[in-house]
Structure 1
Amino acid sequence: MKRINDAFAFARDARVLQGTLAVSAMERLHDLLAEVSGEVSWHLEGFRGKRGEPLLRLTVSGCIPLACQRCLDAIDFALDVDRLLEVIPANADVSQDELEDDSRDFLPVEKELDVAELVEDEILLSLPVAPRHDGCGLPGASGAGERVNPFAALAGLKGKPN
């Protein structure tokens, strides 16, 4: 997999990298998947921002089979990651105001950048917390019949003296 030797030069020189990454190579995703198969496409472009700051735009697309949190069957989740990251030195002092600015995302790097790790990080950040099928019930609950309100008996006590 690609490594960028100098992320600051990559942005300054407006370089572009693109490729595919196998889902099987992204080990931190494995526990969230119904099956470890397929691949994702990524595109990384460097450029300078309005203030001259080094920026990277990462886009990732593809489909990964997430495990439904109710039935554990596969959910085909379409990835549509489009992230703009400001490259900063790993030891840079960032003010609290800058950290709270939702319009900026920082990517602290020494110099070298592992593209596969960055792609995997951004995929993990884009996933739903608890993926599940629309209308997916609890396992074994399909034949349970009509749902009974546990507080229905209290309605009969309403208005009666103690």
Structure 2
Amino acid sequence: MSQESFVIDLQALAKDGGRVHRTVPVESLGRLVESLLEPVGTVTFEFQGERDDEGKLYVDLQIQGDLVLQCQRCLEAMVWPCNVQNRLLLLRSGEELPENELENDAVDALEVEPLTDLLALVEDEVLLALPLVPRHENCEPPVKAGVDDEISPFAVLRQLRGKV
């Protein structure tokens, strides 16, 4: 499937109540790959459009996939289950967010152009959802192999000072 097939008119999708459901390889999300330990597996996403009674256009976004991150405690691979759900209020370019939506935490506003790259939007949402410091619930930090009692650098200095 080509990248071009993921560029659509989100406002038209919302007006029609349309739905887009796709699965893409993780490696096709270039910016996300840079944050992963291993670019393996797939990411599944779904956009469901909706127009409310007031004529506002919304898209409900769901993203799922297992991503391989590096645990920052033990430095081993860690599978992180990505599950993003977001409701987006679609705004035309230059349109301001309605006052009654400013305090609504359940909805994020998204200014859209006539054509929107769905992969870039999916990638943005996943990057925002990544844990700042990924780590297993239970793991130990790595230990240095073959070093039982590390000699303090100050102890070495003390020995040198005694010889003078």
Question: Do both share a fold (TM > 0.5)?
Answer: yes
Distance change in 2, residues 1:49/1:125 (3 Å): farther
Stretches of structure 2 that go unaligned for 5 or more consecutive residues are: 149-164
Q: Which residue of 1 aligns with 2:34?
A: 31
Spell out the pairing of 1:56-67 with structure 2 (5 A cutoff): 56-67=59-70
Q: Report the Cα offset of residue 10 of structure 1.
A: 1.2
Distance change in 2, residues 1:134/1:8 (3 Å): same
Q: Which of the numbers 105, 108, 111 marks the counterpart of 1:108?
A: 111
Distance change in 2, residues 1:71/1:45 (3 Å): same
> SS of 2:80's equivalent?
strand
Q: Which residue of 1 aligns with 2:154?
A: none
Between 90-99 and 44-53, report the one with greater CA deviation: 90-99
Q: Percent identity?
A: 35
Q: Report the Cα offset of residue 16 of structure 1.
A: 1.0
Q: Report the Cα offset of residue 97 of structure 1.
A: 7.1
Q: Report the Cα offset of residue 141 of structure 1.
A: 7.4
Structure with the higher helix share, 1 or 2: 2
- Tell me if structure 2 keeps the 8 A contact 1:61–1:81: yes
Q: Which residue of 2 aligns with 1:118?
A: 121
- Tell me if structure 2 keeps the 8 A contact 1:33–1:74: no
Spell out the pairing of 1:1-162 with structure 2 (5 A cutoff): 1=3, 2-4=6-8, 6-94=9-97, 98-140=101-143
Between 10-19 and 64-73, report the one with greater CA deviation: 64-73
Whole-Å Cα distance in 2 between the matches of residues 135 and 7 of structure 1? 42
RMSD value, Cα: 2.5
Whole-Å Cα distance in 2 between the matches of residues 63 and 141 of structure 1? 30
Distance change in 2, residues 1:137/1:104 (3 Å): same
Between 118-127 and 97-106, report the one with greater CA deviation: 97-106
After TM superposition, the score normalised by the length of structure 2 is 0.77
User: Aligned residues, how many?
Assistant: 144
- Tell me if structure 2 keeps the 8 A contact 1:34–1:72: no
> SS of 2:47's equivalent?
strand
> SS of 1:32's equivalent?
coil
User: AA paired with 1:3?
Assistant: V
- Tell me if structure 2 keeps the 8 A contact 1:75–1:133: yes
Between 49-58 and 80-89, report the one with greater CA deviation: 49-58
After TM superposition, the score normalised by the length of structure 1 is 0.78
- Tell me if structure 1 keeps the 8 A contact 2:75–2:142: no
Stretches of structure 1 that go unaligned for 5 or more consecutive residues are: 146-162
User: AA paired with 1:128?
Assistant: P
Whole-Å Cα distance in 1 between the matches of residues 134 and 128 of structure 2? 13
